[in-house]
Amino acid sequence: MKEKKKRVSRYEYQTRFLTNLFGSKKVACSLFCGVIAILALFRFYTFYWAVAGQESWPLLDHIIVKMIGQTLTVSGIIMATSAVIALNFYGYGFADCFDILMEDRVTCFPFNIFNNPMYLGSTLEYIGATLVKASPTGMLLSAMIGGMYIIALHIEEPFTAMIYDDKLNQNIDKEK
């Protein structure tokens, strides 16, 4: 699912297909953000459903572990939500691919502490749910999700840097 989102965002950047389809880059980006948010909620729901329906692991089935899990879950939600707010909604949904670029790098909380707070926050949510449910399957799935985010960052960060470099070069050409 993550790879399809990447392909759609790159296709949009190269062709402006969604922008042309909806007649506005902000409308297209808003719809794309909405789809991403719905898919993220569905992903967490299916994850939670997978870990909730199994036997708990006695090694993790302890009140202290559950409290740590709840703390991680709340921390992850705060981190991811704060990142969306700091990015002004459009930054959440690959707005750069829709040519909606930030003027400057976001440096307020949580970006002043973490480089990728949405991915980190999301991973903390999964780990937290795993600990609350004392789920061995959740541990495996959380590790897989964290690994996917690491791979995504290796793809996403250079692409985003290229978009901003292109914009900088366009601005330099306009000044000449």
Q: Are 60 and 131 in contact (CB under 8 A)?
A: yes
Q: Are 110 and 47 in contact (CB under 8 A)?
A: no
Report the alpha-carbon distance of residue 43 to residue 11 in Å, rounded: 23
Give the pLDDT confidence of 18-28 residue by residue, as tens digits.
Answer: 999 999 998 99
Q: Are 73 and 128 in contact (CB under 8 A)?
A: yes
pTM of whole model > 0.85? no
Q: What region does 94 belong to: left with phi over 0, alpha with psi -120 to 50, or beta?
A: left
Residue ranges of alpha helices (H) inside the chain are: 2-15, 17-22, 25-52, 63-86, 117-133, 136-175
Report the alpha-carbon distance of residue 110 to residue 98 in Å, rounded: 24
The confidence score (pLDDT) of residue 176 equals 61
Query: How far is CA 50 from its chain centroid?
Result: 21
Closest CA relative to residue 12, chosen from 28, 31, 27: 28
Q: Is the dihedral of CA 104, 107, 145, 47 positive or negative?
A: negative
Q: Are 32 and 38 in contact (CB under 8 A)?
A: no
Spans of the chain below 50 pLDDT: 1-2
The confidence score (pLDDT) of residue 173 equals 65
